[in-house]
Structures are given as structure tokens and as C-alpha cells.
Structure 1
Amino acid sequence: MIRRVLDGLYLFAGYAAGGFLVAIFLLMMVMSVGREVGLNLPAGDDIASWCMAAMAFLGLAHTFKRGDMIRVGLLLERLTGRARQLAELFALAVAAAFALYFTGYAVGMTWDSYRFGDMAQGVLAIPLWIPQTGFALGLAILGLALLDELVRVARGLKPSYEKDRPTSPDELVERIASGESL
């Protein structure tokens, strides 16, 4: 039950990031075409930048869990057995600690913006906590995903982000051609 809820949360965050990407595209197209026909969207740049931040942070957990986040595994790939598990646990614990540390500050900043009634300084004066929520929520979901993986690896299971190696050159070429990470 909890596994389905967590996986659903990561998937939802990925879809939300995709939705913000589409919003950025639409905004940029309206602004580009609008210049040609005399339509001005004064706060378009502000909205696009807020969507960009939400997209980037909300997409982190989904990208991490799917194994598509860039990782340097030079050391881990050389280890096997218990040594690899311990190194993986250490890496996950450090990553989770950093993510949760930054989550605390992001949530605190968002809460302070709400509490003090901070407003955006651009053309569109909206409460700052609204665009900051995507940033804080994305970091919180990433922290949860890292803790989820930490527990998974501590239980002796293979990390969900770890993909099987290609078994043949043809499979390697097929993965690369399809855009799948290795």
C-alpha cells in the first residue's frame, strides 16, 4: 500500500514537472507569436521563470527513481557484495541529508514568504509563496525518494534506479537509440 502511494507521488511529481514544461512552451510561443501580432504578455518572463523552477525541482524525484539522474558510479561499479551495499548506503545517506537540509530551508523560506505576505516585485504582483511552493515541494519529494531508497538498500534490495547492464552490443545500441539511460 505504502509502496503504491510513494510510487504514485513520484509519478505525479514527474507529470507535474511535465505540465510545467508544457506551460513554459506555451508561454514562450504566445510571447513569440504575440510580438509579431502586437500582443504583449507583460509578466510572461516572470511566469516562465517560476514554471522553470517548479519543473526542475518537481522532476528530481521521478528522475532519480527511474535511474535517469546523472550519477558518478566509478567507485560503486568496482565494488561488489557487502562493500557495494555499504558504499551505496553511505552515498544515499549523504544525499538524503543534503536534500532534507535544503528542504528545511526551502520550506522555511516559503513559510516566511506566506507569513510576511511577501509579493513578487515584477509586473505581476503575486504572493511569493505560490511560486516557491514548487521548489519546496520538489525538494521534499526528492528527500522522501532518497530516504525510500536508503531503506530499500538497507533491506538488502537492489536500488530501483540501478539498471541491468546490456547483455549484448545490439541491446546497448537499442538502449542508446531509444534514449534510455544506461
Structure 2
Amino acid sequence: MSSIDPRHSLFPERLRKLLDGLYLGAGWLAGVFLIMIFVIMLSLSAGRPLGIDVPAGDDFASWCMAATAFLALAHTFRSAELIRMGLLIDRFSGTLRRLIEIACTTIGAVAVIYFAWYAIDMTWVSWKFNDVSMGVIAVPLWIPQIGMSAGLAILAIAFVDELLHLLFGGVPRYQKPKVESPDEIVQRVMESGV
């Protein structure tokens, strides 16, 4: 197995930019849905005292919340912001740690591909049978299900991308480098919003 420079990508520069753009775009779209939740909730809260009803506002807010959560996953994964349980893996180094990282990423990729497959299938079946919501406003269910399906599909791509990167000698990009000074600890705490 040949080794590559761990700072570089296995993929050509154009494909790397496309994939990174896909992850970033999904993150931005998740942010748009987060703003939509804010607008809907503000409309619901401000509308009550004024006697203004927002039909199915709770339904739309919950669909936006699901889209926000799933679309943000790939960007969060690639930004090394997902919560990792490093208690065990951090005790190892060298080849053994590398093999554990590859095994964990493989298990993660298989799990995410499985969930993405069934989410896409669920969305397809909803579209095929024209399932609609049971709320005040009948909305075809495939529309709100797209956020979950797309988010899981993009996360599956990110996991496969990372697995290939690891298999060809790259260092994990889903974890931040170890902290080397007290100033870095303070910086990390400030970045995390703690």
C-alpha cells in the first residue's frame, strides 16, 4: 500500500474542491433551515398575542429542525466537531492506532450508508405513493424527508471519502491535532462556545 502526504488528498484537486464544497454547502443549507426555525417560532410567538395564526407552524418548524440536524452532519464531521470517544483509541499510537482508526471509520461508513439507503428508500416510497402529512396543511411527505435523506447521503460520501484517505496513508481529518500549549486550550474552549 503506497503512502501519500497526509496533508494532501487522494483525489484530484477539482474533485477535492467539489467534495469540500458539497460538505460546506450542506452546512450552509443547515444554517438556512436553522434561520427558518427562528422565523417560524418567532411568528408563532408574536402571532398569538396579535391573534395571528400560523397554520401548521409546528409541523414546518419540526421539519426544518430535522433538515438542520441531518444536513449539518457531514460538515460537522469534516470540521472535526463531532463528539468522539477517544478514551480507548488515544491510548494507542503507530500502526495499531491507524488500524483502529480505519476499523472505526469502516464501521461508521457501513452504518451511515445503511441509514442513508433506507432514508432514501423511505423518501422514494413517500413520493411514489404520494403520502401526505396529516396536519392542517397537507404537504407531500417526500418534501420534508429530503433533508434527512440528503444529509445522510452527504455524510455517507464524507465517510467513504475519509476512509479512502485513511486507507491510502492519510492522517484522520475528522479529529483536531493535539493541544500543545495552554493558549491552544483556551482557544479551543472559546471556539466551542463553552
Aligned to 1:149: 162
Task: State the secondary structure of the residue aligned to 1:164.
Answer: coil
- Once the two structures are overlaid, the 10-residue window that deviates more, 170-179 or 139-148, is 170-179
Shift of residue 155, structure 1, vs aligned partner? 1.1
Distance in 2 between residues matched to 1:74 and 1:39, nearest whole Å: 52
Seq. identity, %: 50
Deviation at 1:161, TM superposition (A): 1.5
Alignment of 1:8-157 (within 5 A): 8-157=21-170
Please give the TM-score of this superposition, normalised by the length of structure 1. Answer: 0.96
Aligned pairs, number:
181
State the AA in 2 paired with 1:119. Answer: V
Larger fraction in helix? 1
The range that moved more, 27-36 or 160-169, is: 160-169
Against the structure 1 CA distance between its residues 161 and 180, is the aligned structure 2 distance closer, same or farther, given a 3 Å change threshold? Answer: farther
Whole-angstrom distance in 1 between the partners of 2:93 and 2:180 = 19
Q: In structure 2, what residue type is equivalent to 1:170?
A: D
Deviation at 1:79, TM superposition (A): 1.2
AA aligned opposite 2:87: L
Residue 70 of structure 1 aligns to a residue whose secondary structure is: coil
* Paired letter, 1:154: L
Letter in 1 for 2:75: H
Distance 1:100 1:171 in 2: 35
| Gapped regions of structure 1 (runs ≥ 5) | none
Give me the whole-angstrom Cα distance separating, in 2, the residues matched to 1:178 and 1:115.
44
Letter in 2 for 1:167: E
Structure 1 residue runs of 4 or more that deviate by more than 3 Å after TM superposition: none
TM-score (norm 2): 0.90
For residue 178 of structure 1, report the CA deviation from its aligned partner. Answer: 3.0
**CA–CA separation in structure 2 for the residues paired with 1:180 and 1:62:** 18
